[in-house]
Structure 1
Amino acid sequence: MSLLTTILLCASAAAAVLPLPKYNVSVNDVSVSGFSSGADMAVQMHFAYSKTIKKGAGVIAGAPYYCSQGNVTISVTACMLNTAPRNLSYLYSIINTWSSNGYIDPTSNMAASKVYLLSGTLDSTVRQPVMNDLHTMYANYLPAANIVYKNDLAVEHSIPTDYFGGACTFNGIPFVDNCNFDTAGAILSWLYGPLNAKNVSTLSGVFINFDQAPFWGNFNPLMHGMSTSGYAYVPASCAAQQACKLHIAFHGCLQNAGTIGTAFYQNAGYNRWADTNQMIVLYPQTVATAANPGGCWDWWGSDDLNFPGKSGGQMVAIKTMIDRIVSGNTATPYTCANWYDSNYMHVYYGRAYVGSDGQTYAINSNQYLGFYSLGAYTDVRRTAAGFYSYGSCI
């Protein structure tokens, strides 16, 4: 890395970190996409929060939902290198059970959404048979007409673009390759329908470096493997509170801003389309940890045993970011009607519920509160909208 690049990255990191604002976004216009571990995160969000991710998901080099089964060995063998089979029948049984007991939203919500899948023929990290099984899984829950599967592009493990990155045969940082194919445009056009032509010159909007700390729930010291700040691209029309859409783009392992700077959140191709189509693009960020040195999104349990469900640490954080932008519930100042009480009493008074795992979660936010017992005390806050959440007034 050159001295100039280092200086620019440091300057970027030192930019002012702002609270994530509320925008004029309908809950009907939310979608996700991701690459590699970010692809797995997009799949998790789509399955777990299908009531919220109504438009659907774009998946670049990802695995079936809950493919790892919470086991890191399975994640790097069956779910990446195809060195063992993926038991789809077993995964379906898990999904259907969770869908019926509330651990994830009912899978019936997914039928109206769309999915765009991309697997490079040269991908040596997430082999194509893994993506083939994801395609099969999605076809079990969505109409075939709602799924696009592009599996004929000669590209390694990367996000293909039509203007930025290395050679298509390169597998390495920043995992963005210039392959004369606009992946971001293909994903967004499929999820949202015909779009205005993208902006290939100066963008109209701004990049916001926003504070991720309010979304960690009661695990602030651990941060759920997430950075202290994330990024968002906000077109001028959206900043002016015109009606806009929301797309969440998840980076892959070794692809967060702390590792590759602006390469993903400024040059994966999403912002050019967002700028002319009244669309905010949210780029949440991870950070490397001892259990997860690559800064991957948690799709095998590195951060939380509840990683694939609505109560998973990273899952709740992203969902709460969506709530902030879409409904403003968490952006509305708390009434400071708070109760420092046992989790048993929080449940008794309807401020929390007991999940299928026997743990306690706040009503509406689904934020994890800890053990269900008289001896476990938590400070729960309530917004004017009746939104219960762990944490301080904001």
Structure 2
Amino acid sequence: MERRPTFSGLFSCLLACLLGGLLACSHTSSAVGATVLPKYNISVNEVSVSGLSSGAYMAAQMHFAYSTTIRKGAGIVAGGPVYCSQGNVLIATGPCMADSGSRNLPYLSAVISIWSSNGYIDPLSNLASSRVYLFSGTLDSTVKQAVMNDLRSMYGNYLPAASIRYKNNLAAEHTMPTDFFGNSCSVNGPPYVSNCNFDTAGDILNWLYGPLAPRNVSTLGGSFINFDQSVFWGNFNPTAHGMASTGYAYVPAACAAGQACRLHVAFHGCKQSVAMVGTAFYQNAGYNRWADTNKIVVLYPQAGTTAANPNGCWDWWGYDDLNFPAKSGGQMVAIKTMIDRITSGNGAAPFSCSHWYDSNFWHVYYGRAYLGAGGQVYAVNSNQYLGVYSVVAFTDVRRTSPGYYAYGSCP
């Protein structure tokens, strides 16, 4: 299936800087002194994700693309429908945020169904056994409630109504609401964490995992680790792909000691990386207090900046990769490999790639790609569209893991 062309990096950069809001400038941190992300005693059955703003879009993308892995579900705070941007920054900053124009939900759902059928994402049928938590503040001036309403409708196609919780009656701006830290709830500004007398992180985790033990409201008993994200790009520089050199995780003492635990991946929003707001999100969004008493490792990957993404957002409109919402998307693969590294059931190797610059004819001949209907060529396993069957046109196809080929997802 052909995808709409994205805008140039320079145009995306200038437009994002002008529009601000969900998009905000950041810079990356150094991997010097960072540790290797450890494995813990965590089953793949206990994995969930959540995120705010661009992190909300990323969390939903991950949930749909990797529903075989993210089995517990997703928490979405101020996000919108999967593939809402259609790879177009103007759609991303228009209908997908400000509710100006149509998001064309039937089209998005049709595209996602095609992706599910051809393996570009995991089967949509997996979603039925997970749970979803949605949050939208009534004062949110960046991602309007109508956008979140469409995500609610999208999830309603695949999950029972009883598995979806939608909190949309709190007078909160574009922020991560807590009951102990941050700005006034009506403030739309750094660090985008606000004391709204409401524990969003706790609501998310209790919904996804079921009733939890009371949280720790005093000194945490676990520890924070700063880990190297570059290994998940095959030791290439992740800062070239909108990710910082290092990420963070909170590890309860019981998990560090080898006890059976769970994994929750929390994606910050734009303007929320450690480079921009320090520890505000990964230490004070509210997740760690619940994680400490319920044996949950919380992974906080870190986005960074590029010329096409000067704001440190997660890739939900294609600034780094045309395949941004798919299992083969660069950032998606990196985060999935982090999950594989942490969980006890799968010690996957770091993200890596090898290159073949060849025509689509020879990619098919050597088994790196296959010929679809109408003369279209797709990469093996990733099912990425590579163009028409031709002896002349040259395509860069990359092996990202044994038997798995992709286009444009690593240097």
TM-score, with length taken from structure 2: 0.81
Give runs of aligned pairs for residues 65-80 of structure 1, distance below 5 A.
65-80=82-97
Give runs of aligned pairs for residues 54-133 of structure 1, distance below 5 A.
54-133=71-150
Letter in 1 for 2:191: P
1:171 is paired with a residue whose SS is: coil
Q: Separation in 2 of the partners of 1:267 and 1:119?
A: 19
Across the aligned residues of Structure 1 and Structure 2, the Cα RMSD in angstroms comes to 3.1
In the alignment, what sits opposite 1:201? 218
In the alignment, what sits opposite 1:26? 43
Write the deviation string for residues 189-223 of structure 1: whole angstroms up to 9, x where unpaired.
Answer: 00000100001111111111011111124864764
Write the deviation string for residues 342-394 of structure 1: whole angstroms up to 9, x where unpaired.
Answer: 889998787x6669884646x6xx699x9999985867776xxx99999xxxx
Distance 1:280 1:388, change over 3 A: farther
1:168 aligns with 2:185: yes
In the alignment, what sits opposite 2:304? 287
Which structure's relative contact order is higher, taking Cα pairs within 8 Å and 6+ residues apart?
2
Q: Percent sequence identity over matched residues?
A: 64
Distance 1:21 1:328, change over 3 A: farther
TM-score, with length taken from structure 1: 0.85
1:231 is paired with a residue whose SS is: strand
Write the deviation string for residues 206-241 of structure 1: whole angstroms up to 9, x where unpaired.
Answer: 111011111124864764210111001011111111
Distance 1:23 1:303, change over 3 A: same
The 8 Å contact of residues 17 and 210 in structure 1, kept in 2 or not, is answered as yes
1:47 aligns with 2:64: yes
The 8 Å contact of residues 238 and 244 in structure 2, kept in 1 or not, is answered as no
The 8 Å contact of residues 159 and 183 in structure 1, kept in 2 or not, is answered as yes
Q: Separation in 1 of the partners of 2:124 and 2:219?
A: 41
Aligned residues: 368
1:310 Cα deviation (Å)? Answer: 0.7
1:110 Cα deviation (Å)? Answer: 0.1
In the alignment, what sits opposite 2:25? none
Write the deviation string for residues 130-158 of structure 1: whole angstroms up to 9, x where unpaired.
Answer: 11111111111110000000000001000
The 8 Å contact of residues 176 and 192 in structure 2, kept in 1 or not, is answered as yes
In the alignment, what sits opposite 2:16? none
Distance 1:275 1:190, change over 3 A: same
The 8 Å contact of residues 231 and 283 in structure 1, kept in 2 or not, is answered as yes
1:329 Cα deviation (Å)? Answer: 2.2
1:225 aligns with 2:242: yes
Q: Separation in 1 of the partners of 2:323 and 2:307?
A: 19
Distance 1:199 1:100, change over 3 A: same
Write the deviation string for residues 256-277 of structure 1: whole angstroms up to 9, x where unpaired.
Answer: 1111110000000000000110
Q: Separation in 1 of the partners of 2:366 and 2:196?
A: 57
2:126 is paired with a residue whose SS is: helix
Q: For structure 1, list consecutive stretches of 5 or more residues without a partner in the other structure.
A: 1-11
